[in-house]
């Protein structure tokens, strides 16, 4: 399902545990409002204010339906000490569906929700994150920072021994897997992380960067499995057990350990090593799950490791793990009361059930949530995915179409229309009328907004266009594609400076 893909691909980063956040003084808190004083959508105005006030900009890029965005809103963004801290910045909230948002996303190289970027007044970047785990600590460093992230990366690559403590803190918390602007090349990213692992002044930092390097460098093969090199196996066997010895490091690296690293441990070819490290990993993550100071979503995410390690190449999980998943999904459903908290956890609970083999349980949970959620269209795509897995093509197409038709927000509607069209391409490729109608829905949505062909929209439309052209070749769809091209040409004419890029939608290169 989609949420597992988000966790694994985006790799929401939990930074290295350093000093605990120092509470704001009582006098500071007394003057603080009940919420962050966000500027809504006007980045130019925020940058102008930053120049006048000599403060950096705190840019938060998110979406109303985004689960990890809702986690931020219900946890850190409500913390009065953190709200006080944001007064040292010019905070601006950029919803991905607002006018011009995708163009700003293009400029700053933002690929996923949420992304938090600290900017200098000239618009250059200081750092970026996608999780609350180290944000408070990072802002303390960034508030008085004048060095750009480009300059920091240059020092890290050329002379890491010259990095200061603040430099190391920023690099440890940086969102290494969600920055196409600086790190579109995974090999380069992994090499830099390995270099930092070797140069870091302390053991926890060394292990943090080594873990990140493993997460970035190791990818699944065409068969969907990991083929670890001898060097990678040795790295896993050295780094992971060392982290697991210290609860503080486990908490700091919990997202990687729950996701990509658990999958890598499961891929270790040596059964005794795999069993020993896997058992230690589950024991450590069970403690994280029991930590009531952490958000519900973070605690629930640890269960992905149980599934990955229990499957280890098998099709289904064992009954004890299935019961564990069911119990935790039920706990999340019962514990999450607030609407935004539920938005941050229910899709994860459903995905865990699905991954563990309980598709019926996942379906029941999602269908029940449709009646409670302010963004039911988000869950409809998950229901479409479940129907597709069950080989129920009409239901899959029906849910995908309903998700698109009930979605809100310009960029979101384009994305959901694309998902509807892709579902039709997979489930009814011989129905040319259905393919054309669902593709036309995408073009209609794009035509509603001139000057919107940037970043997420551009990337998603390009990939979808490629799928359409592949379909055309395989299903004699030249006439359909010609009509769609003609309609798309009219849309591209309205895209301003992005018109030329738009005209190349779906073309190789």
Residue 364 has pLDDT above 80, yes or no: yes
Higher pLDDT, 179 or 381: 381
User: Among the three residues 184, 202, 222, which one is the final residue of a domain in this structure?
Assistant: 184
Q: What is the pLDDT of residues 243-266, one digit of tens each?
A: 999 999 999 999 999 999 999 999
Asked, for residue 225, whether it belongs to a domain, the answer is no
Cα-flanking dihedrals φ and ψ of residue 293, to 5°?
A: -80, -15
The Cα–Cα gap between 185 and 158 comes to 18
Query: Do residues 331 and 399 share a domain?
Result: no
Token pair recorded at residue 419: 């998902």
State the pLDDT confidence band at 397, using cuts at 50, 70 and 90: very high
Cα-flanking dihedrals φ and ψ of residue 183, to 5°?
A: -135, 65
Domain count, the chain: 3
What pLDDT does 98 receive?
A: 82
Q: What is the pTM of this model?
A: 0.84
Asked, for residue 472, whether it belongs to a domain, the answer is yes
What pLDDT does 7 receive?
A: 38
User: Among the three residues 322, 340, 374, which one is the final residue of a domain in this structure?
Assistant: 374
What pLDDT does 363 receive?
A: 98
What pLDDT does 132 receive?
A: 66
- H or E element in which residue 127 lies: strand 125-129
Query: Do residues 120 and 13 share a domain?
Result: yes
How many CB atoms within 10 Å of residue 179? 22
Query: Do residues 264 and 282 share a domain?
Result: yes
Residue 27 has pLDDT above 70, yes or no: no
How many CB atoms within 10 Å of residue 93? 18
State the pLDDT confidence band at 12, using cuts at 50, 70 and 90: very low
State the pLDDT confidence band at 9, using cuts at 50, 70 and 90: very low
Using a 10 angstrom Cβ sphere, with 0-12 exposed, 13-18 middle and 19 or more buried, the burial of residue 17 is buried
Asked, for residue 190, whether it belongs to a domain, the answer is no
Q: What is the pLDDT of residues 67-100, one digit of tens each?
A: 888 888 888 888 898 899 999 999 999 888 888 8
In 54-98, which residue ranges form alpha helices assigned H by DSSP? 67-74, 80-85
CATH of the domain at 38: 3.40.30.10
What pLDDT does 18 receive?
A: 35
The Cα–Cα gap between 349 and 203 comes to 34
CA 263-380-343 angle, 5° bins:
70
> What mean pLDDT comes out for the span 346-369?
97
Question: What percentage of the chain carries pLDDT values higher than 90?
Answer: 65
Higher pLDDT, 225 or 424: 424
User: Among the three residues 119, 149, 184, which one is the final residue of a domain in this structure?
Assistant: 184
Query: Do residues 248 and 175 share a domain?
Result: no
Domain that holds residue 45: 1-184
What pLDDT does 178 receive?
A: 73
What pLDDT does 135 receive?
A: 82
What pLDDT does 193 receive?
A: 95
Query: Do residues 157 and 20 share a domain?
Result: yes
Whether the Cβ atoms of residue 11 and residue 260 lie closer than 8 Å to each other: yes
Asked, for residue 210, whether it belongs to a domain, the answer is no
Asked, for residue 26, whether it belongs to a domain, the answer is yes
Residues 6+ apart with CB under 8 A from 401: 420, 438
In 3D, which of 141, 19, 4, 129 has the Cα closest to residue 76? Answer: 129
Query: Do residues 21 and 170 share a domain?
Result: yes
Asked, for residue 117, whether it belongs to a domain, the answer is yes
State the pLDDT confidence band at 1, using cuts at 50, 70 and 90: low
What pLDDT does 508 receive?
A: 58
Residue 142 has pLDDT above 70, yes or no: yes
What pLDDT does 17 receive?
A: 33
State the pLDDT confidence band at 388, using cuts at 50, 70 and 90: very high
SS3 state at 91: strand
What pLDDT does 32 receive?
A: 53
Q: What is the pLDDT of residues 416-440, one digit of tens each?
A: 999 999 999 999 999 999 999 999 9
Higher pLDDT, 444 or 102: 444
Q: What is the pLDDT of residues 298-343, one digit of tens each?
A: 999 999 999 999 998 777 899 999 999 999 999 999 999 988 889 8
Q: What is the b/e burial string over 72-87, where b = at least 16 CB atoms within 10 angstroms of the residue's CB?
A: bbbbbbebbbbbbbbb
Query: Do residues 325 and 431 share a domain?
Result: no
> What mean pLDDT comes out for the span 204-228?
90
Asked, for residue 223, whether it belongs to a domain, the answer is no
Query: Do residues 301 and 413 share a domain?
Result: no
What pLDDT does 14 receive?
A: 38
The Cα–Cα gap between 74 and 86 comes to 16
Query: Do residues 265 and 325 share a domain?
Result: yes
For the chain, the 3-state helix, strand and coil shares in percent, each to the nearest 5, are 65, 5, 30
Query: How does the average pLDDT of the chain come out, rounded?
Result: 89
Query: Do residues 455 and 504 share a domain?
Result: yes
Asked, for residue 446, whether it belongs to a domain, the answer is yes
> What mean pLDDT comes out for the span 474-483?
97
State the pLDDT confidence band at 186, using cuts at 50, 70 and 90: confident
Cis-peptide, bond into residue 157, ω within 30° of zero:
no
Query: Do residues 298 and 396 share a domain?
Result: no
> What mean pLDDT comes out for the span 125-144?
83
What's the maximum distance between 2 C-alpha atoms anywhere in the chain?
71
What pLDDT does 33 receive?
A: 61
Q: What is the pLDDT of residues 152-161, one digit of tens each?
A: 999 999 999 9
In 3D, which of 219, 258, 212 has the Cα closest to residue 235? Answer: 212
What pLDDT does 506 receive?
A: 74
- H or E element in which residue 197 lies: helix 186-199
Q: How far is CA 306 from CA 116, 310, 312, 328, in A?
A: 30, 6, 10, 12
Query: Do residues 352 and 242 share a domain?
Result: yes
């Amino acid at each position: 399902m989609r949420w597992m893909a988000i966790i694994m691909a985006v790799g929401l980063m939990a930074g290295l545990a350093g000093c605990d956040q120092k509470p704001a003084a009582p006098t500071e808190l007394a003057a603080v409002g009940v919420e962050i004083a966000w500027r809504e959508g006007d980045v130019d105005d925020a940058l102008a204010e930053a120049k006048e006030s000599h403060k950096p900009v705190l840019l938060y890029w998110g979406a109303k339906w985004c689960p990890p965005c809702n986690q931020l809103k219900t946890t850190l963004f409500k913390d009065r000490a953190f709200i006080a801290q944001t007064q040292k910045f010019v905070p601006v909230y950029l919803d991905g569906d607002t006018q011009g948002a995708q163009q700003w996303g293009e400029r700053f190289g933002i690929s996923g929700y949420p992304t938090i970027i600290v900017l200098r007044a000239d618009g250059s970047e200081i750092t970026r994150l996608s999780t609350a785990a180290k944000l408070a600590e990072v802002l303390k460093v960034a508030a008085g920072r004048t060095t750009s992230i480009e300059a920091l990366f240059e020092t890290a690559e050329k002379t890491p021994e010259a990095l200061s403590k603040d430099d190391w803190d920023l690099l440890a918390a940086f969102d290494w897997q969600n920055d196409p602007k600086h790190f579109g090349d995974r090999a380069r990213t992994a090499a830099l992380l390995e270099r930092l692992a070797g140069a870091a002044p302390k053991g926890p930092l060394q292990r943090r960067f080594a873990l990140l390097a493993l997460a970035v460098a190791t990818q699944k093969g065409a068969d969907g499995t990991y083929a670890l090199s001898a060097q990678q196996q040795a790295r896993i066997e050295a780094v992971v057990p060392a982290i697991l010895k210290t609860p503080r490091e486990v908490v700091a690296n919990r997202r990687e350990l729950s996701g990509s690293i658990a999958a890598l441990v499961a891929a270790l070819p040596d059964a005794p090593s795999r069993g020993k490290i896997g058992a230690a990993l589950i024991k450590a993550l069970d403690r994280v799950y029991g930590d009531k100071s952490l958000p519900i979503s973070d605690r629930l995410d640890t269960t992905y490791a149980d599934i990955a390690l229990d499957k280890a190449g098998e099709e289904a999980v064992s009954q004890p793990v299935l019961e564990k998943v069911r119990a935790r999904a039920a706990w999340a459903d019962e514990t999450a009361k607030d609407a935004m908290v539920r938005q941050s956890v229910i899709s994860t609970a459903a995905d865990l059930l699905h991954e563990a083999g309980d598709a019926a349980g996942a379906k029941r949970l999602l269908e029940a949530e449709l009646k409670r959620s302010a963004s039911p269209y988000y869950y409809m795509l998950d229901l479409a995915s479940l129907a597709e897995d069950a080989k129920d093509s009409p239901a899959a197409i029906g849910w995908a179409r309903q998700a698109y038709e009930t979605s809100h927000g310009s960029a979101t509607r384009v994305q959901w229309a694309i998902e509807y069209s892709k579902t039709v391409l997979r489930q009814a490729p011989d129905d040319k009328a259905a393919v054309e109608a669902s593709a036309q829905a995408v073009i209609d949505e794009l035509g509603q907004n001139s000057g919107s062909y940037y970043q997420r929209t551009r990337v998603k439309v390009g990939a979808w266009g490629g799928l359409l052209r592949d379909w055309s070749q395989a299903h004699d769809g030249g006439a359909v594609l010609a009509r769609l091209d003609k309609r798309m040409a009219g849309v591209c004419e309205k895209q301003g400076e992005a018109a030329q890029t738009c005209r190349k939608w779906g073309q190789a290169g």
